[in-house]
A and B are shown apart, each in its own frame.
Chain A
Amino acid sequence: MLQFAGFWMALATFLGIWWGHVGVRWLEAHSRSIWIPIVVLAVVGVGLNLAALLMPSILPNASADVLLTLSGVASIIGITLMWDGLEMYRQQNRIKKGHAPANRANPRHAAYLAAGMGTTEDLLAREPQGYLVNAPAPHQPVPHNASADRHSVVAQREYAEVESA
Chain B
Amino acid sequence: MMWEGLALGFFSFGIIGFGFYWVIRLERFGGYLWWPYPMAIGILMIIVTLFLPDAGWSALLGITGGSFIWGATELKEQAVRAELGWFPFNPDKKDPPGVNWIKRIKAPHL
* A interface residues with partner B (beta carbon < 8 Å): 2-14, 16-18, 21-22, 49, 52-56, 64-65, 67-72, 74-76, 78-80, 83, 99, 123-124, 126-133, 135
Contacts and interface: CB of A to CB of B under 8 A. Distances in A.
Contacts of B52: 3, 6
A124 B77 contact: yes
Interface in B22-79: 32, 42, 45-46, 48-56, 58-63, 65-67, 69-70, 76-77, 79
Contacts of A64: 55
Given A12-B66, A53-B2, A54-B2, A79 B59 contact: no
B83 A53 contact: no
Given A10-B45, A75-B12, 14 more contacts: A3-B50, A3-B53, A5-B59, A7-B46, A14-B69, A17-B16, A17-B110, A68-B5, A70-B5, A71-B8, A72-B5, A75-B10, A79-B10, A132-B89
A128 B76 contact: yes
Interface of B: 1-6, 8-10, 12-13, 15-16, 19, 32, 42, 45-46, 48-56, 58-63, 65-67, 69-70, 76-77, 79-81, 83-86, 89, 91, 110
A6 B58 contact: yes
Contacts of A69: 55, 59
Contacts of B32: 128
B84 A123 contact: yes
Contact of B5 (A10, A11, A74): A74
Q: Please report whether the interface of chain B is mostly helix, strand, loop or mixed according to DSSP.
A: helix
A130 to B, nearest CB: 8
A130 B33 CA distance: 11
A14 B9 contact: no
A124 B80 contact: yes
Given A72-B4, A124-B81, A131-B91, A49 B55 contact: no
A7 B62 contact: yes
Contact of A9 (B2, B19, B59, B81): B59
B84 A55 contact: no
Given A10-B49, A10-B62, A13-B12, A5 B55 contact: yes
B80 A123 contact: yes
B64 to A, nearest CB: 8
Contacts of A132: 83, 85, 89
A72 B9 contact: yes
A79 B9 contact: yes
